[in-house]
Chains A and B, each alone.
Chain A
Amino acid sequence: MSTVLILADFVGEKASKSTVEIATAGAVIGEVTALVLAPVGKGAARAATLVHGPIAKAIVVESDDFDKHGVPATADALAQVITKMQPAAVLVVSHAFGKEVAGRVAMKVQSGIITDAVAIAADCTTTQLVFGGSTTVHSKISHGVSIITVRPNTVTADFVTCSPAIETLPLSIAEKSKLATITSSQPPVKGGRPELTEANIVVSGGRGTNGDFTAVENFADSLGAAVGASRAATDAGWYPHSHQVGQTGKTVSPTLYVACGISGAIQHRAGMQTSKTIVVINKDPEAPLFELADFGVVGDLFAVLPPATEGVKARKP
């Protein structure tokens, strides 16, 4: 049976939902081995959080270079493991970090690379949604190992319990992967809400909130949703940049996306138009985002959201 190597993704010290998703996607191709990279002394604890998903084995590599040198050091370790293991495919989460790692690895091991896959078949054929989700493309890597990044929230994660066999692998990171040094690093400020790219429901606010996100947050909380924002809102400092949805923010494809006071600029659409159901609330009936709406309300978000919030809460037992 062929093997598939996944680069385990951690949020804080815990394996993320995206890790379960890439494991699920990988299990279709072969037996999944997860590569766990961690600072010295933290590998076992991180590997122990691989409890869900079809993961057969975990390889733990410990080095302080990962936190100190970021993408290049990570790519160096991943490439070394690929050369040793010769897997059929390598799956990485499609976020900024994951894509850069995959890109460097493709260059190192001289393989093709496919980014932002939303599905992968047993023969490594991938499905991508391009041009803002208007076109479906099937592609395949025709040279080397299949290096594929998988967009979060598109593969339905199989949460089977697992207890992978753990192997510790000593590796040293090449000097040329240590040319840039990270001197400080701050994780995004976390509230009690779900992570934007992992959430099933996202409620976003734009310039129409006029800086007051209370109604948007209350509605999000009634739904257990993550909160997103347009660039107009993040630029104005009304909401943290890490919540920006769009071309230069995050790409989300939740089951439900609710846009409140957002006009629908092409750059915003680029980050949300593959959402399964889209709800738009906007005062202006001409707002372009209505083109994408499954359910649109022409109205004031401050008038529409509070009764909707009460209505959702009333449904809860």
Chain B
Amino acid sequence: MKIAVCIKQVPDSWAEKKMVGGLLDRANVDAVLNDLDEYAIEEALRIAEAHGGNEEGGANTVTVISMGPERATEAIRKALSMGANDAILISDATLAGADAVLTSQVLASVITKENFDIVICGTESTDARMSVVPAMISEKLDWAQLTFASKVEVDPSTQKVSITRVTEAGVEEIFAVFPVVISVVEKINEPRYPSFKGIMAAKKKTIDIRNCASTGVQVAAAWSTVIDSAPRPPRAAGVVITDDGGAGQKLVDFLIEKKLI
């Protein structure tokens, strides 16, 4: 099987984020691999390992795909050191500030060229928090959408993929045949830590850096535009009391004062 994993480098969740000229200021914050994408990499590796592995010349390959600045190679190295085989990074100044539509078009066009059977994404990037890219890639590719998976089963002989989808609307069992786009929730597995051997091996793996022109996607102005942005006033400091036996009643008094009850 040829498996692809879409990963994104995002600002560290704890970092203070600022908007500069309508875009997230990515240059001045620590960047990390989007944590949900680690689950996607782990699941890809597990699927490969369950069906003959992804050693060189083996039955399966796991390719990492990312769109982002050159610096995203750091996040890609992490994915490679976990065990992915190789990587494609689409990096181009014209893509800075890309919206979900453009991102999905670029990713879809890279995927089309490589004959993958399965594409796995995280369910959400911690910066954009849109949870739309996997569905949009599947739409663009006309591939089956198997998203919000808490469990994935693949049968390479019949090319059938079954998932358990978990969302606020409940639990669903869904199946489709290759090629499919999967997104995974964090309940699905426990991502491995890169081993020393994995880190060393990753240094020798290739990251194929491509520009936007190679994808054939025409970059127009973004279809959604930020008009302005402003930091919200910080929450006014609240009252913190230590319970001396009367805190329950004081809490009630607070709720009454705030007209909440």
A residues adjacent to B (C-beta < 8 A) = 70-72, 75, 95-97, 99-104, 106-108, 110-116, 125, 129-131, 133-144, 176, 179-188, 196-197, 201, 223, 235, 241-242, 247-248, 250, 255-256, 266-267, 270, 277-279, 281, 285, 290, 292-300, 303-312, 315
**Chain A residue at smallest Cβ distance from B171:** A186
Interface residues of B in 213-244 (CB under 8 A from A): 220-232, 235-236, 238-243
Alpha-carbon separation in the docked complex, A250 to B129 (Å): 12
Whether A142 contacts B222 in the complex (CB less than 8 A), given A293-B240, A296-B238, comes out as yes
Chain A residues contacting B21 (CB-CB under 8 Å) are none
**Chain B residue at smallest Cβ distance from A141:** B224
Interface residues of B in 106-138 (CB under 8 A from A): 123-124, 126-127, 129-136, 138
CB distance from B182 to the nearest CB of A (A): 10
Taking a contact as CB atoms under 8 Å apart, the answer to whether A131 and B247 are in contact is no
CB distance from B129 to the nearest CB of A (A): 7
Contact of B225 among A139, A277, A279 (CB under 8 A): A139
Taking a contact as CB atoms under 8 Å apart, the answer to whether B101 and A112 are in contact is yes
Q: Could you list some 7 contacts between A and B, CB below 8 A?
A: A107-B136, A113-B224, A130-B229, A179-B145, A248-B123, A297-B240, A308-B252
List 10 A-B pairs, minimum CB-CB distance, nearest first.
A299-B243, A307-B248, A112-B223, A103-B132, A311-B252, A296-B240, A179-B144, A143-B223, A112-B224, A308-B248
Chain B residues contacting A72 (CB-CB under 8 Å) are 138-139, 145
Chain B residues contacting A137 (CB-CB under 8 Å) are 19, 226, 228-229
Interface of A is mostly: mixed
Q: Which of B101, B167, B248 has the largest number of chain A CB atoms within 10 A?
A: B248
Chain A residues contacting B222 (CB-CB under 8 Å) are 112, 142
Taking a contact as CB atoms under 8 Å apart, the answer to whether A139 and B224 are in contact is yes
Q: Interface extent on B, as a size class?
A: 35 or more
Interface of B is mostly: mixed
CB distance from A237 to the nearest CB of B (A): 12
Chain A residues contacting B254 (CB-CB under 8 Å) are 279, 295
CB distance from B16 to the nearest CB of A (A): 8
Taking a contact as CB atoms under 8 Å apart, the answer to whether A139 and B241 are in contact is no
B residues adjacent to A (C-beta < 8 A) = 13-14, 16-19, 36, 99-101, 104, 123-124, 126-127, 129-136, 138-140, 142-148, 166-176, 180, 185-187, 220-232, 235-236, 238-243, 245, 247-252, 254-256, 258, 260-261
Taking a contact as CB atoms under 8 Å apart, the answer to whether B243 and A311 are in contact is no
CB distance from B171 to the nearest CB of A (A): 5
Taking a contact as CB atoms under 8 Å apart, the answer to whether A71 and B145 are in contact is yes
Chain A residues contacting B169 (CB-CB under 8 Å) are 95-97, 187-188
Whether A141 contacts B241 in the complex (CB less than 8 A), given A75-B139, A135-B232, A308-B251, comes out as no
Chain A residues contacting B166 (CB-CB under 8 Å) are 241
Q: How many interface contacts (CB-CB < 8 Å) are there between A and B? A: 262
Taking a contact as CB atoms under 8 Å apart, the answer to whether A136 and B232 are in contact is yes
Chain B residues contacting A270 (CB-CB under 8 Å) are 13, 126, 129
**Chain B residue at smallest Cβ distance from A116:** B129
Extra contacts, 8 of them, besides A242-B168, A295-B254 (Cβ < 8 A), are A70-B174, A100-B145, A116-B130, A180-B145, A185-B170, A296-B239, A298-B242, A312-B255
Chain B residues contacting A144 (CB-CB under 8 Å) are 223
Chain B residues contacting A143 (CB-CB under 8 Å) are 220-221, 223
CB distance from A224 to the nearest CB of B (A): 9
Whether A99 contacts B247 in the complex (CB less than 8 A), given A113-B100, A180-B146, comes out as no
Chain A residues contacting B176 (CB-CB under 8 Å) are 179-181
Chain B residues contacting A296 (CB-CB under 8 Å) are 238-241
CB distance from B92 to the nearest CB of A (A): 20
CB distance from A189 to the nearest CB of B (A): 9
Taking a contact as CB atoms under 8 Å apart, the answer to whether A103 and B223 are in contact is no
Alpha-carbon separation in the docked complex, A141 to B224 (Å): 4
Q: Which of B19, B144, B243 has the largest number of chain A CB atoms within 10 A?
A: B243
Alpha-carbon separation in the docked complex, A238 to B235 (Å): 31
Contact of B147 among A71, A307, A309 (CB under 8 A): A71
